[in-house]
Chains A and B, each alone.
Chain A
Amino acid sequence: MKTPNRTDAFRFTLGSLAHLLAFSLMLFTWSAEATAPRIAAKMLGEERHVDVVGYYSSSQNTPAAEIEGKLTADLLSAAFQAGGMQPEIDVLPSKQLAKYEFVVNQVPVLICAEGDLTAKEMKRYRLVTYFLSDVANGNNPISLAFDLKNPRGDKLYKAFDKGLQKIISNGKYRELMQKHLGKDAVSANYFSRLQRQNPR
């Protein structure tokens, strides 16, 4: 059996110190990791990035308005998708807030009605009325306002315009109208009017 000499004892002490230091460091590190996230102020989840903002109001809180809202959302998604884009669409419970997001927070597209923008604002944005809903039944047409000075707004405008023509031609538009409104609810001349209002 080897008798420990002074050098061995020194090595042993150094080794123990190193272990102690490593253990202490580990403890401190673990402690920091365990407590820091609870101390740091942070928000739950990632903030949503929105491309298109719309609104509904409490006065529209009827079954018919709900169907129209779903139809509009489906038509918009289908048109953008056919144009090669999948924008994030958000619908707020207030027109004032939706407009704020468009005008102040630079969300590039606003789903709105004619008259929602002032004459001054109309000059700044490209307002396109697409008559997404069945105008023959007397419903208000739905417009999209695009901020064409915003590169993303310009891209979305081009994609939507192209995609809308596509879904009118390939029957997807008709299919969605009939899915939400029923076959008989869509007026006979609606699709020819739609073609006229949105010419190639």
Chain B
Amino acid sequence: MKYIRLFALLLALLAQPAFAEDIQVVKPEEVGLSSARLQRISDFMGGYIEQKKMAGAVVLVARHGKIAYFETFGEADVGKPMQKDTMFRICSMTKPVVTLAILQLYEDGKLLLSDPVAKYIPEFAHPKVIEMLPPGSNPPFKLVPAKRDITIKDLLTHTAGMPYSFAAEWYPNDRLLRQMNILYEEAGISSGMYETTGTIGDMVKRLARLPIASQPGEAFIYGMAADVSGYLVEVVSGQKLDDYITEHIFKPLKMNDSYFFVPENKQARMSAVWKCDWHGKLEKVLPGPHQEGDYRYSPTFQTHGPKTFLSGGVGMVSTPYDYFRFAQMLLNKGQLDGVRLVSRKTVELMTTNQIGKLSESTLHDDGWKFGLGLGLQADREHNVDAGDVGTFEWAGLYSTRFSVDPKEEKITIFLSQTHPFNHHFELWDKLLMMSTSSIAD
């Protein structure tokens, strides 16, 4: 019996991921980066911690497939220094992973991007588009038939007309977003950022019965479409979303610390979530849901509550190293360490403009386009501080971000757990500029 236990313990140990200390970090000069210039990132990030604009963060910079800079800053929790293997709620950085899952099913011949979503989720048949009537009208809106079906491509490009409920908070004068917020509240549509009962299928079927905010394909409206994609993975694959992604993405990429719901034995590695005004007032967010205007969020949705709601939009927890492996796979056009997840052509599809003349207006503005699940830098004519044309990136609501520059074969990852989200934009722009200006070949 003793030997069986010993053997089980040994197996459990072998199953553990490589500790962060074992992850190889090369000398920056080996990959054409300047150590001295990368040091600027450390000074810069240290300043943010010192000024209590953030409690803690991790920054990773890699080039030519090798990590050249991997530093921790500040605290993960009260009295607990940030570690390289600290786990983060990556929120919307879940979306590119779910997009990849859809594209794997596409390559398997199980769906087409041009397929109507209603082919798989019948509740989406015959969508209606909401159009606001002049203020004071009763009812305040009219519903018109959609000109065409919502397609899977519309989901992956956020052109399906499905905003987030909290967008009404971001754009308080937008009556359409306010109306969508009212309908979402009535229908119990969850952003996934807090403990939610039921399954993603339950919610998506309710969402499908609501009108959409624009004609399919005609506007970039960031939001709930990724949750529909997540449920689509379940319908098409016949597996729960977390099971599918674990089997087809996390395991092949050896992303051993990535989950939807974090197992108990790893929960101590999770960073706290911090609320900050980015001017020195910093406090730890207490467990459970919090409501601020239209925005509802919780630091505990991946560890507490019913754990039945697998949000394809915001549900994942990961580490800087795990997400680096995902980003490197994309940079390598679909494969890592000899394991291919999707073809080169499919990664090209993900990373070329799919929204025509529209702009990716969530993180950026003109000059940025959207591929499938990823924002793309389309030119240098517009107001862009760093990066080459072709760079792709995305971010998460607790102030997380990643960028992949294919031209320079460079990946930059910044993970913190800081609320609210919009204050980190300046930090990110400067950080990305420093990462770019460390190129020395």
Contact = CB atoms under 8 A, between A and B. Distances in A.
Interface of A: 41, 43-45, 47-48, 57-58, 61, 92-97, 99-100, 103-105
Contacts of B185: 58
Contact of B187 (A58, A100, A104): A58
Given A44-B149, A47-B126, A97 B188 contact: no
Contacts of B119: 44
A96 B126 contact: no
B139 A103 contact: yes
17 contacts: A41-B148, A43-B149, A44-B119, A44-B125, A45-B118, A48-B125, A48-B126, A58-B187, A58-B188, A92-B209, A93-B206, A96-B182, A97-B183, A97-B209, A97-B211, A99-B139, A104-B142
Given A41-B148, A100-B143, A104-B139, A57 B122 contact: no
Which of B116, B187, B197: most chain A Cβ within 10 A?
A: B187
Nearest to A41: B148
B186 interface: yes
B210 interface: yes
A94 B210 contact: yes
Given A43-B116, A99-B139, 17 more contacts: A41-B147, A43-B125, A43-B126, A44-B116, A44-B118, A45-B126, A57-B186, A61-B197, A93-B187, A94-B186, A94-B209, A95-B186, A96-B183, A96-B186, A97-B211, A104-B142, A104-B143
Contacts of A44: 116, 118-119, 125, 149
A48 B361 CA distance: 36
B114 to A, nearest CB: 9
B403 to A, nearest CB: 37
Nearest to A60: B188
A97 B210 contact: yes
Sort A-B residue pairs by CB-CB distance and give the 10 closest, nearest first: A58-B188, A93-B187, A93-B206, A94-B186, A44-B116, A44-B118, A47-B126, A45-B125, A41-B148, A94-B187
A182 to B, nearest CB: 24
Contacts of A104: 139, 142-143
Given A94-B210, A100-B143, A104-B139, A43 B186 contact: no
B139 A93 contact: no
Interface string B112-124: 0000101100100
A46 to B, nearest CB: 9
Interface in B138-170: 139, 142-143, 146-149
Interface secondary structure of A, over-half rule: loop
A48 B419 CA distance: 44
Contacts of A43: 116, 125-126, 146, 148-149
Contacts of B197: 61
A37 B187 CA distance: 36
A86 B378 CA distance: 57
Contacts of A97: 183, 209-211
B201 to A, nearest CB: 14
A70 to B, nearest CB: 16
A41 B146 CA distance: 11
A57 B187 CA distance: 6
A104 B128 CA distance: 14
A92 B207 CA distance: 10
B126 A58 contact: no
B122 A45 contact: yes
A177 B206 CA distance: 27
A93 B116 CA distance: 22
Interface string B198-222: 1000000010011100000000000
B391 to A, nearest CB: 35
A12 to B, nearest CB: 48
A93 B126 contact: no
Contacts of B122: 45
Nearest to B197: A61
Nearest to A94: B186
Contacts of B116: 43-44
A3 B193 CA distance: 90
